[in-house]
Each structure stands twice: as structure tokens, then as C-alpha cells.
Amino acid sequence: MTSQVHDAARQGFSREAGTYVRGRPDYPAPLLGWLQDTLALGPGRSVLDVGAGTGKFTALLARTGAAVTAVEPVDAMRAQLQAALPAVQAVAATADAVPLPDASADAIVCAQAFHWFASEAALREFHRLLRPEGRLGLVWNVRDETVDWVAGITRIITPYEGDAPRFHKGDWRRPLEASPLFGPLEAAQWPHVHKGTPEDVIVGRFMSVSFIAALPAAGRDRVRAELEALIATHPDLRGRREIAFPYTTLAFCTRRRPG
């Protein structure tokens, strides 16, 4: 979500904002403590949620007691956020051009988002927005592909990803590793599951993936049919009203350097 929002994000997230709300997992309970302890969030502190989407992570940030500002460039996603969290200030902006003053925030967090805008320009903007000793947090829910049916889902969707930025490609690390503006990454992780109907946690979840949602109708129908066939035939999924989709939640913290 740089100043030129990637087509897959712009089209896909605009088209499937409602599905995104239903299909995406929330976050594990220990992550709240990580926000409070590692990012030092709490009453009297301020945090920017950049690439906030529909506000799934914004709601968790609000629970810390910090003042939260959500930054999201896709109108349909931001509308979902504002409907769900009317008390949160929502700003229409990209990561490299946030219309807020210097030293506006004690922390910036990007959940399920940094891979879209990982760049020197975004890091310069984050450095400008953070106060001295400010912290940048990056969070992802990552599918547990040691489970065979989860790996099967990956095989279904991967042929369509094209040049869409993805966490698993690892490109998001390069700007951070090269940047003199932020320190080394400190990592934490927790197991997590998303419980719900197969329609929500598999079909809804993966039809809301940006590059799938951006496909022409025939392509979307093909992916949906493959996902439904997996649910209908896999012994761990067939006939189940509720399933537990396994994830690992990864959280990274880096600190703003002077300069």
C-alpha cells in the first residue's frame, strides 16, 4: 500500500471487504500482553495501525488503552473499520505519506500488511512519525502448512499470486535489514487457531486473499470450486460443521534509531 496501491490489493480488497471481515482470523490472547510489554502500549500512549484494513487488529490495539489512529487507503476496507469502530480515528493514506505531524506516535503497528508496502520510503515515513525511542511492530498470522489440508490450500491458491507481495516470499525483510533508521528485529510467536465453519475459515478466508479476489469471475469460481472440493473430500474436513484452522502468529519489534 505505497502511494501506488498494488492492483491486487486495490481491486481484491475493494471487492471482498465484507468477506475479509468474516473469513480472517483474529489474534491469540498473548498478543495483547506483547503489545503492552514489548511495544509499551497503554493509557497515555499513542499508536498508528498502518494498513489497518477492516480493523481486525485495530480492535486489539484499542484494548491496550492507547490512543489508536488507523491508516488505510482502500475505501471499502476503511468503511468496514469505521462501521465497526466508530470511536477510532481513520485516515485515508498510504504508508509512505501519512498526513500527521512529526513525532505523532509512540508506536506503529502493521498487522497482515507490511509486506504490501515494505520500502525505504515507508520506513522513512515511520521514522518521521515516531517519537524518539518509538517502536515498530509487525504481526502476521501464518498458516501451519505442516497440516496436509492446509498445504493443499496453498497448492490451490499459489498459481494465482503473480507479483503480489506475500509474507512467505520474505521480501519485506530487505528494507529493514538495510535501513539505518531502525534496529534489529526481535521476534515472538504463538500457536493460534481460527475456529468456524469450513465456509468461513477456508472458503471465505481464501476468497478474500487479494490476488484471488481480484481475479475475473471465472477464475474466482474455479478457486471456490477447488476449495469446496477439498472440504468435501478430505477426511479431516468432510462433513464437519466446525473446524480449527491452525496458524502460527509471528510478531516482530524494532526500535527507532536517532537521526
Could you report the per-residue pLDDT of 3-14, keeping only the tens digit for each?
455 554 444 454
pLDDT at residue 1 is higher than 50? no
CA distance 226 to 202: 11
* Centroid of chain to Cα 122: 16
Q: What is the pLDDT of residue 23?
A: 62
7-146+163-195+246-255 maps to which CATH number?
Answer: 3.40.50.150
Q: Kindly state the average pLDDT of the residues 80-92.
A: 95
Q: How confident is the model at residue 18 (pLDDT cuts 50, 70, 90)?
A: low
DSSP string for 111-175: ES-HHHH-SHHHHHHHHHHEEEEEEEEEEEEEE-TTSHHHHHHHHHHGGG-TT---GGG-TTHHH
CA distances from 170 to 15, 44, 199 (A): 26, 35, 29
pLDDT at residue 166 is higher than 60? yes
Q: What is the pLDDT of residue 12?
A: 43
pLDDT at residue 20 is higher than 90? no
CA distance 100 to 124: 14
Q: What is the pLDDT of residue 22?
A: 61
Q: Where are the domains of the chain?
A: 7-146+163-195+246-255
pTM: 0.90
pLDDT at residue 250 is higher than 60? yes
Q: What is the pLDDT of residue 10?
A: 43
